Chain A
């Protein structure tokens, strides 16, 4: 199979690779770049554990061809904490007990980040709709929802 050139930015670093067309972004991130924070929970785009940001939008890396990400800027959970300082979302997840087994955590964080990048003051419904595309078996979601809400500026009542 022919490899095609793939140039993209991952967590701020320019990356240049040659990949087969049938490889997913998730495979390239995990296997080639050793960024194992994004997880394969189902491989069919349902559970959300593989979510990363592509040009600021949350995408399922298991259903995104690596080549489709060509020219894009990818942020994974490893790139969420800049220079060692945790993102407010990460802080909030930790403080609110939103992390249990942790397998869904990186995907939840990246989707929430995508939402907040688009709209720093999302409604509760928007938060639920965003997190509704992720499966978590440990937390019952409550703490995750609280953790995201807590990072939103402004009082919840106003929203």
Chain B
């Protein structure tokens, strides 16, 4: 169906539309927004991981000049946040983690607000905390939420397709391992913040950093309802966002607190996080304990995959608890595997709670799966690349979970990596190579009841288009991709298209910027609206040119008859002629696109995405066997993206995703000691720097997806999915040790080396002797 079409906008490396504003300091982030009369809010957090709040004395804070409002959990109506509705924006009676919000202040100046917070006296009665999810599952464990009677959440994560037990008996080779992954966090450069403002009729406007304007609007409406403000309007305005990566996929306490403070103060209230708050009071990637077993027959055909997980839920429940729904995808469908079993338990602890983060569970699951693939290859005596070839997912596959694989370039990705990484090249001492692949949703992901996105296009009299999209740009470039799609379809230049994506009063509904869905879903939505404009423009042009519609070409801001570009009529003129006449019409179109994917059924079967993205990463590492430090020598990342609508922005997603993934593999971790974050700053939370960047070769495989806009699929998340197992596999190749815990710190590598050599694992100061490893 795809012809050798010449595109004018699609496939072009067009710089991000707002890049000039950002490179000149004009772009306005929440940090830069102030409203007349605005007050500054500040939150007091818990001093304990788990404690009863005995008494809160706010008198001194209230007496401080400049303080307008002081609120505690006792002062607010029963608002509940999150998927499990277990999280009030200000806690009353009990705190369950150090990030628990205990009180909040609004004052005329940020320094006064901070001083007031310091004057609030809270008397706690400490309770024993529970920080290990396996301990928390025991029957006599301390309860985080007494009313739930147990720390194990009633979540249904359990599937079994085929017969895993029978397959285990049949398998010629089996492997089994336990993996763990820990908390990591988004580290958006722009810290979180919100401004809430009520009008005289108690309608609410919230300026906030969000990836989900429409769902945030819904959350805020619910909060208003609980506050007794029914049938009010909520408008969400999204300033320029300094990075998202999933962190803004749920509303946070600070947004609801800003609303409450603004309501009591009758003034706009801004809450802006400092870096420490950004680290400790926004939600992390879901930590996991993973048990995996996998087996194949004597020829290397995978027979089964069996996985069990324990997820440390933290003290409250946000999207982290639903990451198993996405983990199911690689578990059931990364490579052909006929028998699959999976279960996951989410457990309350007094740790921080988790949320969405780039990959949404996929990096954790893929770490275990792709590490186990290498282990299985070794057990079966089959080359690890060959094992992946044998079991490679192919177009037309229907996986055990009923995922319908349409376009699929996994095999091409694998071969490209083998080729570019020169897998056969001789290795120096301490050097090794590793590979890992991925499957990810590439055509939306139906987690919510709608996976849709709306677009409105308004043409003006001068041939320019305003595109109002539900999609949220947070730096990834959806604004630009949408402009390219619209420009291509209606024959405009990209800079004739202005994309508005920041205001729920004018932008249609969208479920949110997640699941790598924006290019596919918002792109198809924009394409749908643009097609309608195109049809009407063609009709106007056909009349003006006295030609048949099918013969008219829209290109370069003009319409002409195919083959006669010299006698063209400007699109602007067509628009004006249609407008300025008796009974004239302005040209507008709207379109709502909801992809043809399915909610998962009772047994979690269902084609959750309209199409899937694939990729393979390959890495060459060098391990310093004295220090355990791992250096990346070379990295190749091949991705099946359907079509590269904008190669420049596509590269940006891959480079950024891979470096985030390498950080996940090697250096990043939120260090919690009994629930307390020890490294809430950029010195001690080690995201990689430009000095750590390495040679990365991105490879783009275009499979031209039949359902994607111009054939495109999602690429926002895949870049960080297979990095950790690729690196772990390369380390094994280099020095023969299997690292099963993330991050792969130098001390872990060194301990593994010592253990393998049967050397001592540390110096015991008491005996003044080396002690053996385990």
Contact = CB atoms under 8 A, between A and B. Distances in A.
Direct contact of A and B (CB under 8 A): yes
A138 B682 contact: no
Interface string A97-117: 101111111100100000000
B474 to A, nearest CB: 6
Given A37-B24, A77-B25, A145-B693, A140 B658 contact: yes
Contacts of B24: 37, 77-78, 80-81, 86, 90
Contacts of A144: 690
A72 to B, nearest CB: 19
B163 interface: no
B23 A103 contact: no
A139 interface: yes
Nearest to A102: B22
Interface in B662-690: 681-683, 687, 689-690
A94 B690 contact: no
A105 B20 CA distance: 11
Interface stretch (B74-82, B344-352, B579-587, B647-655): B647-655
Contacts of B693: 128, 140-142, 145
Given A36-B25, A42-B275, A106-B25, A138 B243 contact: yes
B11 interface: no
Interface string B1-30: 000000000000101101111111111110
A132 B189 CA distance: 15
A137 B186 contact: yes
A129 B554 CA distance: 49
A104 B190 CA distance: 8
Contacts of B475: 100-102, 138
B16 A99 contact: yes
Contact of A140 (B19, B243, B659): B659
Interface stretch (A2-10, A43-51, A151-159): A43-51
A135 B689 contact: yes
A43 to B, nearest CB: 6
Given A39-B29, A101-B188, A44 B275 contact: yes
Interface in B624-668: 648-649, 651-652, 655-660
B687 A135 contact: yes
A129 B692 CA distance: 10
Choose among A129, A137, A145 the residue with the greatest number of B CB atoms under 10 Å from its CB: A137
Nearest to A36: B32
Contact of A39 (B26, B186, B190, B681): B190
A102 B690 contact: no
A44 B187 contact: no
A29 B68 CA distance: 28
A140 B188 contact: no
B696 interface: yes
Interface string A44-86: 1011010000000000000000000000000011101100001
B423 to A, nearest CB: 23
A97 B681 contact: no
Nearest to B25: A37
Contacts of A41: 189-191, 275
Interface residues of B, number: 54
Interface of A is mostly: loop
A41 B29 CA distance: 12
A103 B651 contact: no
Interface residues of A, number: 52
B203 interface: no
Contact of B19 (A40, A94, A104, A106): A94
Given A39-B29, A93-B19, A104-B189, A143 B655 contact: yes
B242 interface: yes
Nearest to B663: A137
B47 interface: no
Contacts of B690: 128, 131-132, 134, 136, 141, 144-145
Contacts of B32: 30, 36
Contact of B656 (A78, A109, A134, A140): A140
A86 B23 CA distance: 9
A140 B659 CA distance: 5
A129 B474 contact: no
A113 to B, nearest CB: 12
B691 interface: yes
Contacts of A44: 275, 681-683
A95 interface: yes
A19 interface: no
Nearest to B31: A39
Interface string B180-212: 000000111111000000000000000000000
B666 to A, nearest CB: 14
Contact of B189 (A77, A86, A136): A136
Contacts of A99: 15-16, 19, 22-23
Contacts of A145: 690, 693
Contacts of B660: 137, 140
A28 interface: no
B655 A103 contact: no
B477 interface: yes
Contact of A132 (B21, B190, B689): B689
A115 to B, nearest CB: 12
A35 interface: yes
Contact of A138 (B28, B652, B689, B691): B652
B110 to A, nearest CB: 10
Nearest to A104: B189
B476 interface: yes
A47 B656 CA distance: 17
B27 A137 contact: no
Interface in B425-458: none
A149 B242 CA distance: 25
A94 B243 contact: no
Given A99-B23, A103-B243, A140-B656, A46 B186 contact: no
Given A37-B25, A144-B690, A46 B683 contact: yes
Nearest to B240: A102
Given A90-B20, A90-B24, A131-B689, 19 more contacts: A35-B25, A37-B25, A44-B682, A47-B275, A49-B189, A77-B24, A86-B24, A94-B16, A102-B240, A102-B242, A103-B188, A103-B242, A103-B243, A106-B25, A131-B691, A133-B689, A136-B189, A138-B475, A140-B655
Question: Top 6 nearest A-B pairs by Cβ distance?
Answer: A37-B25, A101-B475, A102-B22, A103-B242, A140-B655, A140-B659
Interface of B: 13, 15-16, 18-29, 31-32, 186-191, 240-245, 274-275, 474-477, 648-649, 651-652, 655-660, 681-683, 687, 689-691, 693, 696
9 contacts: A40-B31, A46-B683, A47-B275, A101-B475, A102-B19, A104-B189, A128-B693, A140-B656, A144-B690
Interface of A: 30, 35-44, 46-47, 49, 76-78, 80-81, 86, 90, 93-97, 99-106, 109, 128-129, 131-145
